[in-house]
Amino acid sequence: MQTVTVERTDDRYVVTLDRPAARNAIDAAMIAELHTVCGIVEAAPAPVLLTGAGEHFAGGADIGELRERGRDEALSGINRTLFDRFAALPLPTVAAISGYALGGGAELAYACDIRIATETAVFGNPEPGLGILAAAGATYRLPSLIGQSVAKQVLLAGRTLDAEAARRYGLVMDVVPAGEHLAAAHRVIDRIVASAPLALRLTKAVVDGTARIEDIAQAVLFETADKRDRMTAFLEKRNRR
């Protein structure tokens, strides 16, 4: 991969947006590579630490690419589809944020379960100033994270939130000095991995409202001796024919 790096340790993934010369702007190549990352994590679930190389988390989407996109690209939800997939990863995700988290970069941060920020962090969604809207999750994630009133200030009035405001409104868990965000995020994941993975997975699904009662009920039934006995009897009867 050219725009993202992935490190797998025993109990977590560390994913780094790696276009520091472009403030880690999210382009089509990064979207494709983050889909690859999601596939890796879905196949072997573990908590994810997401961060950006250099001084910034992600300064937005690639404006040059956005300018050339038309109706069909908008209707396909290119960025939204990825961010929704990232939000749905089975185990908790923690964003370690320094500098700019703007536009699409902010929306990717909103898609994480927990955010840690440095004192330099700035969140904002300036999309209306570019003739578009924040269509990759901000309109439905940000109100639930910080409340509808403050979300409207960000989405409609162009307000940016510095690190202290983000902490005050609950957008970030903690604010740490510059350069300490990765260590702080790792400490959060240390606490996460001390818990039972299945309990974490179910808790996240319930809190996010993605838990389906039939899946949970089926999971319980799949572990019963009655299910195994009945299916074994069925297979033995069929094999005797």
- Choice among 119, 127, 214, 223 that is catalytic: 127
Query: pLDDT tens-digit profile of 17-30?
Result: 999 999 999 999 99
Give the mean pLDDT of the chain. Answer: 95
Domain boundaries, the chain: 4-193, 195-240
Q: Is 127 a catalytic residue?
A: yes
CA trace torsion 36, 42, 47, 48 (10° rounding): 10
Question: In this structure, which topology does domain 4-193 adopt according to CATH?
Answer: 2-enoyl-CoA Hydratase; Chain A, domain 1 (3.90.226)
- Choice among 107, 119, 164, 223 that is catalytic: 107
Q: Is 55 a catalytic residue?
A: no
In this predicted structure, the answer to whether residue 114 has a pLDDT above a threshold of 80 is: yes
In this predicted structure, the answer to whether residue 68 has a pLDDT above a threshold of 90 is: no
Query: Looking at residue 66, what is its pLDDT?
Result: 82
